[in-house]
A = this chain, B = another copy of it.
Amino acid sequence: MKHHLIIVACLLVALASCAQSKEATSTDAAGTKAPASAIVENRQANGDVYYARRATLFDLLPVGESDIIMLGNSLTDGAEWNELLDNPNVKNRGIVGDIVQGLYERMKPILVGQPAKVFIMSGVNDVSHGVTADSIARATEKLIVLIKAYSPRTKIYLQSMLPFNNQVREWKLLVGREQVVVDANRLLEQVARRQEVTWINLYPLFADEQGRLRAEYTNDGLHLLGPAYLVWRDAIKPYVK
């Protein structure tokens, strides 16, 4: 019962927020620098010009009912998913540095297209910002509720967070936070079950025996080399068809 109340509350917040964003994201056909949402504005004000740039591109690229959206942060951004999956309907909507709330705030140009599928990968930047596993799971649930509300036919695939490896290169903001990823994944799996979306547990495919990102898959302890993207691709391929 408590869960239902939370979900209804989230939905109301989501609808209000999305309604606001409908006004905020209008694109000037003549070309504009106007940021698409509060988070983009905030990112740009803080010098994250890449985020703002990529969001202005995503505002202009159409999404259709056959499309499969790869939604996420730098891990998603870094690949050529349409090539990896050999499917022209697969579209990259990853932005380096994004957090779960960032995905939420830039959903409008995706949801208006009522895409067939959305694959979500997020959370590690939230961890680096000190966000708890519980907050990551709640933000992700809010995102899923938003997608279901605005595009009920979209099939949602929630991918687990991947491990990182601070022995390959130290990410100061991730030191000692390995367990947050493990805890978040446990909660995210519950979110997936509760929301009746597909859970894809990628973590075991990328973790070594100590729960670190396999050293051979990365050159910086966090991001993925080419062969690691093939592992990810193989794991999700059955769901893409």
Contact = CB atoms under 8 A, between A and B. Distances in A.
A37 interface: no
Contact of A78 (B27, B57, B59, B219): B57
A31, A57, A88, A223: most-surrounded residue (chain B CB, <10 A): A57
Interface core residue of A49, A84, A216 (most chain B CB under 10 Å): A49
A55 to B, nearest CB: 8
Most buried by B among A49, A223, A225: A225
A92 interface: yes
Contacts of A78: 50, 53-54, 57
How large, as a class, is the contact surface on chain A?
35 or more
A92 B82 CA distance: 11
Contacts of A220: 49, 53
A143 B51 CA distance: 32
Contacts of A79: 57
A56 B88 contact: no
Contact of A82 (B27, B31, B33, B88): B88
Q: How many copies does the complex hold?
A: 2
A44 interface: yes
Contact of A57 (B56, B61, B226): B226
A182 B80 CA distance: 33
Contacts of A60: 226-227, 229-230
A161 interface: no
A181 interface: no
Given A80-B91, A88-B88, A91-B83, A57 B219 contact: no
Given A57-B225, A216-B33, A219-B49, A82 B84 contact: no
A100 interface: no
A32 interface: yes
B31 A57 contact: no
A226 B59 contact: yes
A32 B216 contact: yes
Nearest to A214: B31
A203 interface: no
Contacts of A226: 27, 53, 56-61
Q: Which 10 A-B pairs have the closest CB atoms?
A: A88-B88, A31-B227, A56-B226, A57-B226, A49-B220, A60-B226, A56-B225, A49-B219, A61-B83, A31-B216
